[in-house]
Homo-oligomer: A and B are copies of this chain.
Amino acid sequence: MASRSDTKTRILDAAEKLFAERGFSETSLRLITSKAEVNLASVNYHFGSKKELIRAVLARYLDVFMPLATDELKQLKAEKQHIPLEQVFSVLVNPLLELNKLRPDGTTLFLQLLGRGYIESQGHLRWFITTHYGEHLSFFVDAVSESVPEIPKADMFWRLHFTLGTIVFTMASADALMEIAAADFNEQNDIEAVIRKVIPYMAAGVNAPQLTA
C-alpha cells in the first residue's frame, strides 16, 4: 500500500486538516501519520522535521495563491488608475476561491492555516512567508496605500495589522462562528459568505476617519 511517494501527499493532506483544526503545536506527528496511514518516521524522511512539514503545508497553498492574487491586482491596475479600497480587498476573493479547486475546502483550510501560522509562529513561519512571498505582499500593501493615499504610512501600518488580525482570527474560528450563526440566526454560511461579510468591515476600518476623540 501507499505506492511511490503519494506518502508525501498523504502526509500533507492529513497534516493540513489537523493543523487547521487544532493548531500546529497541538498536533503531534503520531496523530498525523496515523490519520495518513503512513509510518511515523516517514515525516522526518520526507520533510526533515516538523517545522519543515508546516512550511510545506503552507507553501502548497501560497505557491498557488500569491501569483494569482498578484496577477489579478496587476490586471485591475492596468484597467483604471484609481482603485477603491474595497476593490483592492475584493481582488483576493477569486484567488482564494480558486483554492477550492485545488483541494476540497481548500479556501477554508488555507485561511485557517494562515491564521494559525500568524498566531502561533515564533518567527520561523513569519520569516518563511516574508522571505518567500515578500514581493507579492508589498505589491498588495502598496496598492492599498495608493487607494487611500490620505492615510499616513504609519497609520496604514497599524490598520493593515488590525486587518490581518481581523481575518486571521475570523478564519481560525470560522467553523465555530458559522455554527453559531446557523443556530442563532438560521444563517447557512459558507466560507465565501464570511469573506464577503468581512471585506466591508476591513475596508471601512482601514479607511476610518481620524482624530475622532
A residues contacting B by CB (< 8 A) are 22-23, 25-26, 86, 118-120, 122, 153-155, 157-159, 161-170, 172-173, 177, 180-181, 184-185, 187, 194, 197-198, 200-210, 212
Contact = CB atoms under 8 A, between A and B. Distances in A.
A208 B197 CA distance: 10
Contact of A166 (B119, B187, B200, B205): B205
Contacts of A86: 212
Given A119-B172, A204-B209, A162 B198 contact: yes
Contacts of A208: 200-201, 203-205
Contacts of A155: 197
Nearest to A204: B208
A79 B208 CA distance: 27
A120 B172 CA distance: 10
Given A162-B198, A200-B212, 20 more contacts: A22-B122, A25-B26, A119-B119, A154-B185, A154-B187, A155-B197, A157-B185, A158-B201, A159-B201, A162-B166, A164-B169, A165-B167, A165-B168, A165-B169, A200-B208, A201-B205, A201-B206, A204-B207, A204-B208, A205-B208
Contacts of A158: 177, 181, 194, 197-198, 201
A209 to B, nearest CB: 7
